[in-house]
C-alpha cells in the first residue's frame, strides 16, 4: 500500500519551492515600487539595487532548482487524476520555469543597457556581456514588466489549482509539496 510519502517531493525540492515562491512574488511588488519611484526619491537607486541583487540570487536558485529537478523527477501523480489535469499541471509548471528564467534574464539585459555590470549586494559584480545600447533599456524594460504580469497570471492559475485539489478534491496533491 503506497503512502503519501511515496508521492511527495523530496525535502530539497520543497525547500526550493517555498524558498523561491515568497521572494519571487515579493520581487513583483518590489519591482513595480522601484520602477515607479521619482528620481528625487531617496530610495530611487537603492530600491532597484536591491531588486537587481535579489533577482541575480534568485536566478542562481533557479539554476540549482532546475538541476535538482532534472536529477530528481517527482513521483507520478495519482492514477485517479484525469489526463487533462496532468497536462494542465505540466504546462503550468513549464510556464513557471520559463518565467523564472525570463524574468532575471530580461531584467539583466535591461539593467546592463548602459554597459555597466550588476552589483550584487556589494559581494561581486556580474559583468555586462552585451554591448551598451541606449534604446534597449526602454523596450527590454517593457518586456520585463509584461513578463512579470504573465508570470502573476500563471501563479494565480497554479495556486487556484492547488487550493482546489486541497479543499475540493482532497486528493493529497497539495501535500506533495507541503
Ligand atoms: C527574479 C525575478 C524578477 C521579477 C519577478 C521582477 C519583477 C519586476 C517588475 C514587476 C518590475 C516593474 C516593471 C514595470 O513597472 O514595468 C521590474 C522592474 C525592473 N527590474 Fe525586475 N524582476 C526580476 C528580476 C530582475 C533582475 C535579475 C534584474 C537585473 C539584474 C531586474 C531589473 C529590473 C529593472 C532595471 C527594472 C526597472 C525597469 C524599468 O524601469 O523599465 N529585475 N522588475
> Domain-by-domain residue ranges, the chain?
4-176
* Maximum Cα–Cα distance across the chain: 64
- Say whether pTM exceeds 0.75: yes
Q: Whose CA is nearest to atom 42 of ligand 1?
A: 107
- Work out which ligand 1 atom sits closest to the CA atom of 148: 10
48 lines ligand 1 (CB under 6 A): yes
Q: Which CATH code is given to the segment(s) 4-176?
A: 1.20.950
**What is the residue-level pLDDT of the chain in tens, covering all 178 positions?**
565 566 789 999 999 999 999 999 999 999 999 999 999 999 999 999 999 999 999 999 999 999 999 999 887 887 888 999 999 999 999 999 999 999 999 999 999 999 999 999 999 999 999 999 989 999 999 999 999 999 999 999 999 999 999 999 888 888 888 8
Closest residue by Cα to residue 37 from 51, 26, 22, 24: 51
Residue 42, all three cell numbers: 531617496
Amino acid at each position: 500500500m503506497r503512502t503519501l510519502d511515496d508521492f511527495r517531493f523530496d525535502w530539497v525540492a520543497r525547500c526550493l519551492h517555498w524558498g523561491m515562491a515568497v521572494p519571487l512574488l515579493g520581487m513583483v511588488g518590489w519591482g513595480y515600487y522601484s520602477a515607479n519611484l521619482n528620481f528625487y526619491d531617496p530610495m530611487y537607486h537603492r530600491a532597484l539595487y536591491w531588486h537587481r541583487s535579489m533577482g541575480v540570487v534568485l536566478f542562481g536558485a533557479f539554476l540549482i532548482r532546475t538541476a535538482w529537478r532534472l536529477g530528481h523527477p517527482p513521483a507520478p501523480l495519482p492514477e485517479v487524476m484525469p489526463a487533462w489535469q496532468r497536462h494542465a499541471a505540466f504546462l503550468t509548471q513549464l510556464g513557471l520555469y520559463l518565467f523564472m528564467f525570463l524574468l532575471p534574464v530580461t531584467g539583466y539585459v535591461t539593467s546592463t543597457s548602459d554597459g555597466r555590470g550588476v552589483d550584487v549586494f556589494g559581494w561581486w559584480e556580474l559583468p555586462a556581456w552585451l554591448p551598451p545600447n541606449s534604446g534597449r533599456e526602454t523596450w527590454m524594460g517593457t518586456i520585463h514588466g509584461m513578463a512579470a504580469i504573465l508570470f502573476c497570471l500563471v501563479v494565480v492559475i497554479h495556486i487556484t489549482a492547488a487550493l482546489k485539489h486541497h479543499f475540493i478534491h482532497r486528493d493529497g496533491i497539495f501535500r506533495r509539496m507541503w
